[in-house]
Structures are given as C-alpha cells and as structure tokens.
Amino acid sequence: MSTTDPLLNSTFRERANEQLANTFLRTAVPKATDHAVATLRNRYRDHDYDGLRELGREIRERTVSDLERYLAELIAAFERNGIIVHRAADAAEAREHIRRICREEGARSVVKVKSMATEEIRLNPVLEEDGITVTETDLGEYVVQLDDDRPSHLIAPIIHKTKAEVRASLSKVAGRELPDDAAELTGFARGELRDAFMDADIGISGANFGIAETGTIVLVTNEGNGRMCTSLPRTHIALMGIERILPKMEDLAVLLPLIAGAGTGQLITTYVNMISGPRKPGEPDGPERMHVVMLDNGRRSLLGTKYEEALHCIRCGACQNVCPVYRQVGGHAYGWVYGGPIGAVLTPLFRGQHDGGELSQATSLCGSCDDICPVKIPLHHLLLSLRHDRTAAGEVPRHERIAATIWSWTWSTPLGYRLSARMGRVGLRALGMRRTAPRWSGPLARWTQGRAMPAPAKRPWHRRAR
C-alpha cells in the first residue's frame, strides 16, 4: 500500500474527528439514509420481508460453505460462454491482469461502472500510469474522480457532498458556471460521459452476482451507464470477488429484491444487466471479447473460520444506513474502501488487525445492522469476535487492557458486582442525579446534548428482586 493510505497514516479517532467537524455531513447522511430505510419499510410493509431475508441467508450460506465447488462450476460455465477467466490471488495480481489486457488491446481509453472491487485493488492509478484515460461513469463516482476523492457509501458515493460542491466540480469541467439545478448538472455530466462511452476501447465493471449455472454476470444499477460500458467498447473486463456467486438463476429471484430493497427501497433496480459472454455471430451489439478476473484478496482465508459469514455480504449498504456511528462520521472515517459495520468487519479481515483492527471499536453494538442486513449476517457478533482477536494480538492500548481486566475481575463475583454498583450509585448521586435526569455540564456536556442520563433507581433492582 502507498504511504497515502489513510489507514496507515491516521487513526480512526483522528479521521472521525475531522468528519465530525463537517456539519453538512452530519445532517445530510442521516437524512439520506433515513429516507432509504423508510422507503424499504414502506415498500415491504405488507410482505413477508423477513421470510425473504431468511431465503437470502440460506442461499448465501449454502453457496459460501461450498464455494470451491460453485467457483469451479462458474468458471466452467464462463469458459463455455467464450469468456476468458483470470484468477487473482491478491490486489496486485488483479491489477496486473487488467493492465496486461489493456496493453494487449492497445487501449487508450477506459470507461468504468461503479465497482467497490476496483476501489479495493486501487485500479485507476495503475491504468493512468500507462497513459490510459479512465472515466468513472456512475454520476457519483464521476464527481468523486473529478475531486480526487473517495466514495463514502457503498451505493451512494457522494452522500457526503453538497449540491454546491458538485456544481463547482462540474463547472470546472465545463469551463463556465453551471446553473444551480440538479437536472441541468446531470444533463451536463451525461453529455460528457456520452463522449467517453463512444471513445472507449475497454469497459470495466464489477459484478453484483455471477450465476454458476449459466455463466452469467449480473449488474444492478440505477443509471444506464452499466449497459453502455459493457456493450459499447470492443472489450469488457469484469472484476468479481470470488464469493459473489449464486448457484442458480432462480436464486436471483430472491437476491435481486433483497439487494434493491435493502439498498434503496426499490422492488428492483432500474437496470438489471445479465451478461453471458461476448457478442455471438449475428448479434448486433456487445463486446468482441470478454474477460472476468476472479479476485480472492483474502476471501479464501475466511472460509471455514468464524468469519465465513462476512463473505455472505451482497454490498447493499443497508447496515451503513442504520449504523449510529457511520451516520455521524460517514465513510471516510473508516480509512479504507468499505465503511460502516461491514467495513469495520472486512477491513481488519482483509487488511489485518494491525491496520484495521481498531475499527471493531467503531460501533455501539446496538445490533441495528443485524436487524436490517438482507442476508442476516450477525455483524455485531463478528465485531465482538474481532475485538477479542485484537486483544489477543496485543493491539489494544495498555490502559484499555488494564481497565478491562479490572472490570472483568470485579464483575466476576457477586460481591465485586454489588460493591461496584453501590459505588456507581454513590457517584451518580454526587453528580446530582438523585431524583431527576438532568443534562450534564462541563466537559461531559456534549454527551447529554442528545440524550438524558437516567437517574439511578431509588431501590436497586437486586434489593427489589430479593
């Protein structure tokens, strides 16, 4: 990783503090994510959404627990369909495969569909080093690229930006002041991107799912850019995490509404592209050649471990929408590609405890992420497990270790628990909370700005129970 890697150059606390100073982010992110969650709940009010989630969980569990078999089936089906398959053990190998294909094609211009996997391997700088013009064609990703920024949400990359910021970025490209109107701004970007589609030698996409039965890549988008990138250029390269497999086409009937519903509250996304190989003789459109790069990059190492369920993730972003930490600090605070609860799980698993381990502390363990996850990943259990691993790896600061040891020792005996509870009660009384639930003042005031510290009960629970 380069030295510009935020995960190596700063702590979560530093990054979070920086983001917390952004008052727009702290109102815009909760507003946008609340809307997505409310739409989901309204849409499925009269449906058995939990039953659908259970079906999704069962499909993902069955697939991932037998991943090597489905992977072999998928690769065989891809090859039957004329797709050239490449295997990448890590990010460097994936980048090299894609760079080599671009060189062989003599590519000067590449268009891309939004793909977190390509963010994960940091693809764009490598292609740009070769003099290739890379254009992100998802509107949000296009703005991220113009600003030399990073996406801050799995499906809403510029959730952290104001309309004025977007307008300023697009105005720079236009060389004039664009009107303060979302439709006009989008229209301008559409015009720019249309030229990029027409000029591109290669289209690069990710893959939401790969169907083992038929050798089909499935892309779900709400902009038409996915279809343009995968059908206009003469070559299409898809980068796919090895876990993003569904055994059969019928499984898509479950996973499509789940990914659309959990992500944006839609029953189905505006575009669902199913791509089963390059253009066949007699077909009027589609690429002449198609490659799929199968990315491992740490995924296989989770198979058969207590973290295998992290591979069930379908990257819908719903856990980010409900996470009280993400909603305040946004995606950049997590320091790598994936933010929110799933980011706090995947980052230490893919990057190691030393780089990403502290993210397991970036959670209130409220369990909201578990409740909304469309494939029922027990995120907060995984986060707790990662905290244990972090302690075992000696990555926890000494003062935290000492405090936790004293706490554990004290609460391991009834006497210790009662004594400490009594001391706490005395302490809270001393803070003036005997009968009321006031807001704190002084250095702790900010904590009670949005919540009231409950006053201690007159008779402790233990005494009443006795």
Q: Which residues bind ligand SF4 (CB under 6 A)?
A: 154, 262, 313-319, 342, 373-375, 377, 379
Of 161 and 312, nearer to ligand SF4 (C-beta) is 312
Considering the complex, what minimum distance in angstroms separates the CB of residue 320 from ligand SF4?
A: 7
* Nearest alpha carbon to residue 119 among 256, 274, 276, 295: 295
Q: Confirm if 374 and 262 have CB atoms less than 8 A apart.
A: yes
Of 357 and 374, nearer to ligand SF4 (C-beta) is 374
d(CA 85, CA 83): 6
Please work out, in degrees rounded to the nearest 5, the angle formed at the alpha carbon of residue 213 by the alpha carbons of 294 and 202: 40
* Nearest alpha carbon to residue 320 among 55, 64, 116, 114: 116
Of 35 and 401, nearer to ligand SF4 (C-beta) is 35
Considering the complex, what minimum distance in angstroms separates the CB of residue 455 from ligand SF4?
A: 37
Considering the complex, what minimum distance in angstroms separates the CB of residue 341 from ligand SF4?
A: 6
DSSP 8-state code for residue 303:
T
Of 33 and 216, nearer to ligand SF4 (C-beta) is 33
What is Dmax (Cα atoms) for the chain? 84
Of 317 and 456, nearer to ligand SF4 (C-beta) is 317
Q: Confirm if 212 and 248 have CB atoms less than 8 A apart.
A: yes
* Nearest alpha carbon to residue 112 among 139, 81, 84: 139
Considering the complex, what minimum distance in angstroms separates the CB of residue 322 from ligand SF4?
A: 9
* One-letter amino acid of 453: M
Considering the complex, what minimum distance in angstroms separates the CB of residue 154 from ligand SF4?
A: 6
Please work out, in degrees rounded to the nearest 5, the angle formed at the alpha carbon of residue 299 by the alpha carbons of 225 and 319: 60
Considering the complex, what minimum distance in angstroms separates the CB of residue 219 from ligand SF4?
A: 17
Considering the complex, what minimum distance in angstroms separates the CB of residue 367 from ligand SF4?
A: 13
d(CA 261, CA 288): 34
The dihedral of CA 452, 449, 26, 343: what is its sign? negative
Of 36 and 375, nearer to ligand SF4 (C-beta) is 375
Please work out, in degrees rounded to the nearest 5, the angle formed at the alpha carbon of residue 147 by the alpha carbons of 143 and 150: 80
Considering the complex, what minimum distance in angstroms separates the CB of residue 346 from ligand SF4?
A: 9
Residues sharing a CB contact under 8 Å with residue 461, sequence separation 6 or more, in sequence order: none
Considering the complex, what minimum distance in angstroms separates the CB of residue 340 from ligand SF4?
A: 7
Considering the complex, what minimum distance in angstroms separates the CB of residue 374 from ligand SF4?
A: 6
Of 118 and 321, nearer to ligand SF4 (C-beta) is 321
Considering the complex, what minimum distance in angstroms separates the CB of residue 377 from ligand SF4?
A: 5
Give one word for 106, left, alpha or beta, with left for phi > 0 and alpha for psi -120 to 50: left
Q: Confirm if 240 and 74 have CB atoms less than 8 A apart.
A: no
* One-letter amino acid of 188: F
Of 200 and 318, nearer to ligand SF4 (C-beta) is 318
Of 342 and 433, nearer to ligand SF4 (C-beta) is 342
Residue 66: exposure state from Cβ atoms within 10 A (0-12, 13-18, ≥19): middle
- Classified as helix, coil or strand, 149 is coil
Of 276 and 347, nearer to ligand SF4 (C-beta) is 347
d(CA 450, CA 463): 31
d(CA 221, CA 385): 34
Of 29 and 373, nearer to ligand SF4 (C-beta) is 373
Residues sharing a CB contact under 8 Å with residue 334, sequence separation 6 or more, in sequence order: 12, 15, 340, 343, 344, 347, 359, 362
- Classified as helix, coil or strand, 98 is helix
